[in-house]
Amino acid sequence: MGLEVTDLRVYYRTLAGDVKALDGVTLGVAEGEIMGLAGESGCGKSTFGNSLIRIDGRMRHVGGSVVLDGIELPIADGDAMREYRYKLVSIIPQYAMSALNPTRRIGRMIDELLESRGVRHEEYEAELRRRLALVGLQEDVLRRYPIELSGGMKQRVVMVISTLLDPSLLIADEITSALDVSSQKAVAQTLVQFRDEGFVRAMIVVTHDVSILYQIADTLAIMYAGRLAEKAPTEELMERPLHPYTRLLISSLPEMGVRFADARLAGIPGAPPSLLNPPTGCRFRTRCPLADAECETQPPFVEVAPEHAVACWKVA
Amino acid sequence: MLTLERASKTYRIGAFGGGRLVAVREADFSVAQGEVVSLIGESGSGKTTIGRMILRLISVNGGRITLDGEDIAALRGPALRAYYRVVQGVFQDPFSSFNPIFKVDHVFSLLRGLLGGGQADDGWRRRVDEALASVGLEGGQVLHKYPHQLSGGQLQRVLIARALLLDTRFLVADEIISMLDASTRIDVLNLLGDLKARGLGILFITHDLSLANYISERAIILRRGRVVESGPTTAVFGNPLHPYTQQLLGAVPRLHEKWGTGPRSGKADACCYHDTVTASPAAGQPAMVEAEPGHLVGCANLYGVCPGDTDAEVRATA
């Protein structure tokens, strides 16, 4: 069944007006799929993840629908979402390390959390221990306070908690950004393992780090200024990027082996537009080397090859 | 030449300072003008402590740090000002490095005192323009703005320009890239390369191996406060000898190559001194040996000093 998002629009109310953080995003995530969502800061990628679970009260749902496993999620209504949150759709928040209650032992916190969802924690006792062991944590973390755990351990505890009720959809928001390379790898591979074990049925991994996504994601979506720029299977997107933004983004990443002395990489000149009053037409056109008059009208997000969709007039 | 000679730092921790935490253990290396040396390590490896010792933000407990042969710990008054004219630092978070109520030109003018009086307005303005030009900014673009009106990449470049206003010869760049976006971080990195070509010596502190590989001539791998491997970047990255370096390189996410299906453990596959070294600082510590010209490795396995076959056990339990 999976996830179907159609023309999702989410704005933030500010004194200066509405910030159009998501302006018409349409995409699907199939069952068993790990979708990577990448983009610069402020492009709306975290807003997309958060809006599916409605975690932030300042969001205003302006339009579009979200259907998960055939159920339309009431993402405009924070109270109505309570029934689905954590059970059907769950999130590993950004800065998961500070998501734990510092005054509770981990075990007690989990018990309280399960009871708040109307689940008796005894039923999950054995499963919880099994999953902790699976991510390489010893049982005695349940008797510890968060301050006694390292960053990587806290991250894994939060991952186990978020997926304990086997949600259909898991959103992982920048969960590897604050970790060292070796814990990064462990955490990223744990995500894949959770999908393989069937703890979650579909996953959206949000991060600015394209190389992590290349390692674990089945499909990649690139966002720019509140809209999708390109979406394709991971290999396809890395080998044949079509949108100028995706191309520049990938070519600006210092890969292992590339050295300043041999080949000088270039960044993307300019800065993303303000989402308070976004420009008309293609939002990348001020920074785009290919832009011309045609780009003053908004390009549609269309499939140009099987499963490969792009929003650009210059892609035939 | 900026040189660390067996420099160590021990922090006092706990309620009454009774505990000891050895953050840096006998770091021994130097940075020459016109080169980028990267200092690579995980969190808690002591890389920032080394940067802060060089900038004299914290004291050195053992060994010493010298600039052109002179111990920096002894510098006082005018001599210390002279030191800061030559050695400057830029830090990770550009958003919190600025006083939010000062405009950029005011931030710069605070440095005039360091240069010692007698700076004519004209001369000062020329200095500011030159410094901004060398980081690819124009005065009119940034000078009359508050920090919140600038982007992260611009702020980081303003901070580098601020460091260049003086007669800077050495720059400590502590994770200056990590808070920036992918599309702008490479520009700041290229900027370091240009400054190097102009004769600046840069200590590039990072946990990101691909950035270090891109920009630096020499690389130093730090683990738990100890240098485990150092040498020319091509040697350290092309022929990593210490198991920890190998493990770090294996974990780097690459763009056109998937991770191997190695052990998923987040723990280092340790050298046999792993536990003893952390338990007591006085315990044995493998000396650095020169494996190939300029490429130093501190691993007991490499020259058969490991007592017994503990290494195999460590591997088995890891």
Stronger pLDDT, B299 or B267, i.e. the higher one: B299
Is the pLDDT reported for residue B266 higher than 60? no
Stronger pLDDT, B288 or B238, i.e. the higher one: B238
Taking only the tens place, the pLDDT of each residue in B60-93 is 998 999 999 999 999 998 899 889 989 999 988 8
- From A182-191, A259-268, B18-27, B275-284, the region with the lowest mean pLDDT: B275-284
Mutate to test the interface with A, among B141, B183, B215 (most CBs of A within 10 A): B183
Taking only the tens place, the pLDDT of each residue in B170-210 is 999 998 888 777 777 888 899 899 999 989 999 999 988 98
CA distances from A101 to A17, A143, A276 (A): 35, 14, 35
Q: Which residue of B has its CA nearest to A287?
A: B183
Share of chain A above pLDDT 90, in %: 53
Stronger pLDDT, B289 or A221, i.e. the higher one: A221
Position A27 scores a pLDDT of: 92
Do the Cβ atoms of B258 and A249 come within 8 Å? no
Q: Which of B135, B51, B132, B41 is nearest to B91 (CA)?
A: B51
Residues of B in contact with A210 (CB under 8 A): 182, 255
User: In whole angstroms, what is the distance from residue A142 CA to residue A110 CA?
Assistant: 9
Please report which confidence band the pLDDT of residue B284 belongs to, taking 50, 70 and 90 as the band edges: low
Do the Cβ atoms of B182 and A238 come within 8 Å? no
Q: Is B247 on the interface with A (CB under 8 A)?
A: yes
Cβ contacts below 8 Å, chain A against chain B, sum to: 120
**Average pLDDT score over chain B:** 82
Q: How far is B248 from chain A (nearest CA, A)?
A: 6
Q: Is B42 on the interface with A (CB under 8 A)?
A: yes
Q: How far is A186 from chain B (nearest CA, A)?
A: 6
Position A216 scores a pLDDT of: 94
Taking only the tens place, the pLDDT of each residue in B96-105 is 889 999 999 8
Taking only the tens place, the pLDDT of each residue in B201-249 is 999 999 889 899 999 999 999 988 889 899 999 999 998 888 888 888 8
Please report which confidence band the pLDDT of residue B117 belongs to, taking 50, 70 and 90 as the band edges: low
> What is the Cα A218 distance to its own chain's centre?
13
Taking only the tens place, the pLDDT of each residue in A37-92 is 999 888 888 899 989 988 777 888 999 999 999 999 998 888 888 889 888 999 99
Q: What is the pTM of this model?
A: 0.84
Position B3 scores a pLDDT of: 95
Q: How many CB atoms are located within 10 Å of the residue A58 CB?
A: 9
Do the Cβ atoms of A181 and B251 come within 8 Å? yes
Amino acid occupying residue A259:
R
User: In whole angstroms, what is the distance from residue B294 CA to residue B201 CA?
Assistant: 18
Q: Which residue of A has its CA nearest to B45?
A: A180
Residues of B in contact with A237 (CB under 8 A): none
Position B308 scores a pLDDT of: 40
Q: Is B211 on the interface with A (CB under 8 A)?
A: yes
Is the pLDDT reported for residue B268 higher than 60? no
Joined tokens for residue B262: 């190695």
Position B269 scores a pLDDT of: 45
Query: Residues in chain A whose beta carbon is closer than 8 A to a beta carbon of chain B?
Result: 40-41, 136, 151-152, 180-186, 188-190, 208-212, 214-215, 238, 248-250, 252-260, 264-268, 271
Hunting for tokens 């971080």 — which residue is that? B185
Residues of A in contact with B211 (CB under 8 A): 254
**Average pLDDT score over chain A:** 90
Position B263 scores a pLDDT of: 45
Do the Cβ atoms of B254 and A256 come within 8 Å? yes
Hunting for tokens 């995706």 — which residue is that? A246
Joined tokens for residue A265: 């990489």
Is the pLDDT reported for residue B22 higher than 70? yes
Taking only the tens place, the pLDDT of each residue in A252-308 is 888 887 888 888 888 888 888 888 888 899 999 999 999 999 999 999 999 999 999
Stronger pLDDT, B242 or A193, i.e. the higher one: A193
Q: Is B215 on the interface with A (CB under 8 A)?
A: yes
User: In whole angstroms, what is the distance from residue A269 CA to residue B186 CA?
Assistant: 11
Position B118 scores a pLDDT of: 61
SS3 call for A248: helix
